[in-house]
Amino acid sequence: MSSEASWGQNTQQFQQIFGDNLAQVLRSLQQIGAAGTPGPVAPLKIAPEKLQQVQQQYLEEARALWNQGLQAPAEVAAQDRRFSSADWKANPVSAFSAAMYLLNARTLMELAEAVEADEKTHNRVRFAVEQWVAAMSPSNYLAFNAEAQKKAVETKGESLTKGIQNLLKDLRQGHVSMTDESQFEVGRNVATTEGAVVFENELFQLIEYKPLTDKVYERPLLLVPPCINKFYILDLQPANSLVYYALAQGHHTFLVSWRNPDAELAQKTWDDYVEDGAIEAISTVQQITGAEQINTLGFCVGGTILSTALAVLAARGRDPVASLTLLTTFLDFTDTGILDVFIDESFVKFREMQLGKGGLLKGQELASTFSFLRPNDLVWNYVVGNYLKGETPPAFDLLYWNSDSTNLPGPFFAWYLRNTYLENNLMKPGKLTVCGQKVDLGNVDTPVYIYGSREDHIVPIGSAYASTQILPGPKRFVMGASGHIAGVINPPAKKKRSHWTRDDGQLPGTLDAWMDGAQEHAGSWWTDWSTWLQGHAGAQVAAPKGYGNGAKFKVIEQAPGRYVKQKA
């Protein structure tokens, strides 16, 4: 009997099975969309004509695969990099399973897109289906993964043994290995720029770096990294270190190294990180250098903390900062991108009950959340390589940093969730009281350099641009290619990617309007920032010969210090 005839006889049964499965999918989508929503929820709906269109397309493509049997699916599956190796093509059963999976995955995503619901529910459904689809890939399972099977045969089972060892190791350390972590050590081959810790309190250490030039600009530069990660993303290795680059440009550079919170810091709040963190660091740099004003840079949450600190200082009548650089930073949380799927009143209330009065948000929970924003790249890719193939991932400094997680104090985290992601209070003049002062970012009239990454999934590029509409001082906005980290850590010597500027000084209300007058430039945005920063750095003076300033601020220990070495 021909495959055409066989298909015809089974079409009615197949359509019934598909209809039953589709109903189950819709029930699952309903549960996903209702997650976190109090009270009764209206059923999710898909327009009948759209549902019929998806069903018809699925049946046609499934019929084509059925008729091709075990021949052409290899070419279909090869279009996805998970199935692109020759081993998948050489194994007809694996190739067919990959092709069928891709059809099912595409159909599920079309159903998710077709759901008629409000934007948040729609985004939740899409996100959950993406997770589901990524987890169900046949490449994730030894029974279907042709590459892993072939390697097991060729190594006489050694790859499977190694995979089990890798799995047990990762279970012990509490996270999936993304790189060969044995190849890195903080202070030995990452975070190696020469310097010394010249101040510390219970929240942070202040690192002063040794100048690389005979003369430095009279206004020092203070870097405030995010407290949800280790600082050495800004100082991985000399070739890709923003710290080293700033020193080479003649800036007397200081950096905040946040302590990895333990039980002693479980009560710390947003106010503490602003007052005893950013404000204390600014004051200390002023005292060490004698500078009336300093230049500052904040990255991600570090930029949000730093901007809040400047608003508090402005309310106190103080103006200690000559310029502010914000890298992939939220001030306006109207569009929080994919992270919005987690945020609603019930979720925030739960976190406030759980952590608002004390406790720690564990670093591994944060790290897992961010990894599953890109599940194929940052989760399943390593599950396949580490466990099914028994491979050791290559050494990569950025992924080592990504795995070096940090905790957060519960009260800090709960305040941050409600007042930024949920209620977007930071941008509302006078809405928040921080460190005893009403916060108004409109009073922060410091010249500011605002950088956003075009493909950023943590701080969407439109949200980075939105800061141009909040801060009133002279502003320069620059957009870089790539994402949240790779877009920022893009040294000029690599000659990679590109960036966009607009030199007419116009900052219209939307990013799209800004782009209409923007120009693309090959290579890193660092050189553009360096030119801008020089204009706010003052005259050049003789570089200091030592660290600190004598009696009050002395060397405590050599950089990178012990705080950054604390594990979550």
Q: Which of 41-55, 152-166, 387-401, 416-430 has the lowest mean pLDDT?
A: 41-55
The C-alpha atoms of residue 538 and residue 272 are separated, in whole angstroms, by: 31
- Residue with the bigger pLDDT between 98 and 273: it is 273
Q: Hey, what are 108's tokens? A: 């599920």
Catalytic site residues? 300
Q: What local confidence, expressed as pLDDT, does residue 437 receive?
A: 98
- Is a pLDDT exceeding 70 seen at residue 526? yes
Q: What local confidence, expressed as pLDDT, does residue 1 receive?
A: 45
pLDDT digit string (tens) for 454-471?
A: 999 999 999 999 999 999
pLDDT digit string (tens) for 492-512?
A: 999 999 999 998 989 999 999
Q: What local confidence, expressed as pLDDT, does residue 37 receive?
A: 47
Q: Which CATH architecture has domain 195-362+407-565?
A: 3-Layer(aba) Sandwich (3.40)
Q: Give yes or no for a contact between 409 and 268, defined as CB atoms under 8 angstroms apart.
A: yes
Neighbours of 30 (CB within 10 A): 18
Among 175, 133, 134, 166, smallest CA distance to 148 is for 166
- Is a pLDDT exceeding 90 seen at residue 553? yes
Q: What local confidence, expressed as pLDDT, does residue 99 receive?
A: 86
- Is a pLDDT exceeding 80 seen at residue 69? no
CA dihedral 415, 461, 296, 473 (to 10 degrees): -100
Q: Hey, what are 365's tokens? A: 């929970």
- Residue with the bigger pLDDT between 144 and 90: it is 144
Length of the chain: 568
Q: Which of 13-17, 314-318, 526-530, 534-538 has the lowest mean pLDDT?
A: 13-17
Per-residue exposure over 341-374, b if at least 16 CB sit within 10 Å of its own CB, e if not: bbbbeebbbebbeebbeebbbebeebbbebbbbe
Question: What stretches of 253-396 show up as alpha helix (H) in DSSP?
Answer: 270-272, 280-289, 301-315, 345-355, 363-371, 375, 381-383
Q: How confident is residue 40, by pLDDT bands cut at 50, 70 and 90? A: very low
In the chain, the amino acid numbered 318 is R
Q: How confident is residue 96, by pLDDT bands cut at 50, 70 and 90? A: confident
Give the pTM: 0.91
Q: What local confidence, expressed as pLDDT, does residue 29 receive?
A: 54
The C-alpha atoms of residue 76 and residue 73 are separated, in whole angstroms, by: 5
- Is a pLDDT exceeding 90 seen at residue 64? no
Q: Hey, what are 502's tokens? A: 């607009």
Q: How confident is residue 7, by pLDDT bands cut at 50, 70 and 90? A: very low
Q: What is the mean pLDDT of residues 87-101?
A: 85
Cα end-to-end distance, the chain, whole Å: 63
Among 118, 81, 42, smallest CA distance to 340 is for 118
Q: What local confidence, expressed as pLDDT, does residue 76 receive?
A: 56
Q: Give yes or no for a contact between 550 and 389, defined as CB atoms under 8 angstroms apart.
A: no
- HSE at residue 229, side-chain half, CA atoms within 13 A, is 23
- Is a pLDDT exceeding 90 seen at residue 2? no
What CA–CA distances, in Å, run from 542 to 206, 250, 286? 22, 10, 17
515's CB contacts (< 8 A; 6+ apart) are: 479, 500
Q: Give yes or no for a contact between 537 and 217, defined as CB atoms under 8 angstroms apart.
A: yes
Q: What is the mean pLDDT of residues 260-265?
A: 96
The C-alpha atoms of residue 107 and residue 59 are separated, in whole angstroms, by: 10
The C-alpha atoms of residue 285 and residue 466 are separated, in whole angstroms, by: 30
Task: Return the biggest CA–CA distance within the chain.
Answer: 94
The C-alpha atoms of residue 373 and residue 376 are separated, in whole angstroms, by: 9
Q: What local confidence, expressed as pLDDT, does residue 12 receive?
A: 53
- Is a pLDDT exceeding 50 seen at residue 344? yes
- Give ranges for CATH 3.40.50.1820 in the chain: 195-362+407-565
What CA–CA distances, in Å, run from 288 to 282, 313, 546? 10, 19, 11
pLDDT digit string (tens) for 371-423?
A: 888 898 889 999 999 999 999 999 999 999 999 999 999 999 999 999 999 99
Question: Phi then psi for 73, rounded to 5 degrees?
Answer: -55, -30
CA dihedral 239, 241, 246, 247 (to 10 degrees): -70
- Is a pLDDT exceeding 60 seen at residue 30? no
How high does pLDDT run on average in the chain?
90
Q: What local confidence, expressed as pLDDT, does residue 31 receive?
A: 56
